[in-house]
């Protein structure tokens, strides 16, 4: 008997991407279900960021189908044409992104950074945007810094503000690209703790990370990219104790 298809937030079918004629992603298939945390691991240059950026069409792959829920982000299936700017912008509102480098506006306070997209993209009244921003900043433990400018914050605090800014838009999924890689070691934990809380609250998250402990404890799926090919996709228990791929065993230092 056929199972009904599981509810997915993102579904990627046979995605391939080249830069200057060199294939950096090949034939990627990946389904991310509602409420799942998916960790993407792999060495530098393996295509992790590019895969994440394809998910919200910041990079355009040559081949493949990308669904956000029922909607296609790679093209309009009725006209067979790329999405119009407005259609794409609408879809992107449903996808949050958190970067290694925070990307906060330096000339805006913490509160203003979180309110910015609510007011200018969602066209929300300022008072309403402020209420939402304050709530999200409280969630990430930043209520005491509302009127401070980013340059007065530690890296961990900046990243928590960036996460609050993303949450405020109520995205269906948040893409994290090495959210703790730019942080001093003692600041990594506070960001991972916030992300773990989000996972418990049921947020759908795709996380490119080198934090193995986080990937193991928090993920529902772990995927491993090697030279643009997805060579392992397992639940964390299998991934970290008994992966199929010799390359992953080597990466994790598991003896044969
Ligand atoms: P990762 O995030 O796993 O370190 P990336 O997705 O950034 O890997 O890069 C994958 C490959 O694509 C690398 O070889 C990188 O040099 C190349 N690449 C990434 N972005 C571009 C670009 N804009 N133009 C040309 N090559 C790129
Ligand atoms: Mg990267």
Q: What is the pLDDT of residues 139-151, one digit of tens each?
A: 999 999 999 999 9
Q: Which ligand places an atom closest to the C-alpha of 19?
A: 1
In angstroms, what is the span from residue 119 Cα to ligand 1's centroid?
34
Tokens of 93: 């509102």
8 beta partners: 33
The CB of 44 under 6 Å from ligand 1? The reply is yes
The CA 73 to ligand 2 mean position distance, Å, reads 22
3-state secondary structure of 91: helix
Largest CA distance in the chain: 60
Residue 3 has pLDDT above 60, yes or no: no
Ligand 1 atom nearest the C-alpha of 51 is: 6
Checking if the pLDDT of 155 tops 50, the result is yes
Ligand 1 centroid to residue 143 C-alpha, Å? 37
Which pLDDT value is given to residue 7?
A: 85
Q: Considering only 2-6, 65-69, 107-111, 129-133, which range has the smallest mean pLDDT?
A: 2-6
User: How far apart are the C-alpha atoms of 33 and 52, rounded to whole Å?
Assistant: 16
Statement: residue 256 has pLDDT above 90: no
Per-residue pLDDT tens digits for 54-103: 999 999 999 999 999 999 999 999 999 999 999 999 999 999 999 999 99
* Contact by Cβ (8 Å): 193, 224: no
Query: pLDDT tens, 13-38?
Result: 999 999 999 999 999 999 999 999 99
Q: Give the pLDDT of residue 1.
A: 43
Contact present, 164 and 132 (Cβ < 8 Å): no
Query: What's the rounded mean pLDDT across residues 120-127?
Result: 96
Give the per-residue pLDDT at 239: 98
Is a pLDDT exceeding 80 seen at residue 194?
Answer: yes
Task: Verify whether ligand 1 is closer than 6 Å to residue 209 (CB atom).
Answer: no
Q: Residue 10 forms beta bridges with which residues?
A: 32, 68
Percent of the chain with pLDDT over 70: 97
Instruction: Show the CA angle centred on residue 31, arms to residues 29 and 37, nearest 5°.
Output: 125
Q: Is the pLDDT of residue 124 over 50?
A: yes
pLDDT digits (tens, 9 = 90+) for 163-191: 999 999 999 999 999 999 999 999 999 99
Nearest alpha carbon to residue 114 among 130, 125, 98: 130
| Average predicted confidence (pLDDT) for the chain | 96
Q: Whose CA is nearest to atom 13 of ligand 1?
A: 45
| Residue 63 alpha carbon to ligand 1 centre in Å | 17
pLDDT at 120: 96
Q: Is 17 in the pocket of ligand 1 (CB under 6 A)?
A: no
The beta-strand segments (E) located in the chain are 8-19, 22-33, 37-41, 63-68, 71-72, 95-98, 173-177, 205-208, 221-226, 229-234
Q: Quote the DSSP letter at residue 151.
A: G
Mean pLDDT, range 196-224, rounded to an integer: 97
């Amino acid at each position: 008997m056929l199972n009904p298809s599981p509810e997915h937030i993102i579904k990627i079918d046979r995605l391939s991407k080249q830069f200057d004629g060199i294939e950096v992603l090949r034939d990627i298939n990946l389904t991310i279900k509602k409420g799942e945390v998916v960790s993407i691991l792999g060495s530098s240059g393996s295509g992790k960021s590019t895969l994440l950026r394809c998910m919200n069409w910041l990079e355009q792959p040559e081949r493949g189908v990308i669904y956000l829920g029922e909607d296609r982000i790679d093209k309009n299936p009725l006209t067979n044409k790329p999405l119009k700017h407005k259609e794409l912008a609408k879809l992107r509102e449903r996808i949050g992104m958190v970067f290694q480098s925070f990307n906060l506006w330096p000339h805006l306070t913490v509160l203003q950074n979180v309110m910015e997209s609510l007011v200018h993209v969602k066209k929300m009244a300022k008072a309403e945007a402020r209420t939402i921003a304050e709530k999200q900043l409280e969630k990430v433990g930043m209520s005491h810094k509302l009127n401070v400018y980013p340059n007065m914050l530690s890296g961990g605090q900046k990243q928590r503000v960036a996460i609050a800014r993303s949450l405020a838009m109520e995205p269906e999924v948040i893409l994290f690209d090495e959210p703790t890689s730019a942080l001093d070691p003692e600041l990594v934990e506070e960001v991972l703790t916030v992300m773990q809380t989000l996972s418990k609250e049921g947020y759908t998250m795709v996380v490119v990370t080198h934090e193995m402990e986080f990937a193991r404890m928090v993920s529902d799926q772990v995927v491993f990219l090697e030279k643009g090919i997805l060579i392992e996709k397992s639940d964390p228990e299998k991934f970290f104790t008994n992966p199929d791929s010799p390359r992953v065993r080597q990466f994790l230092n598991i003896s044969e």
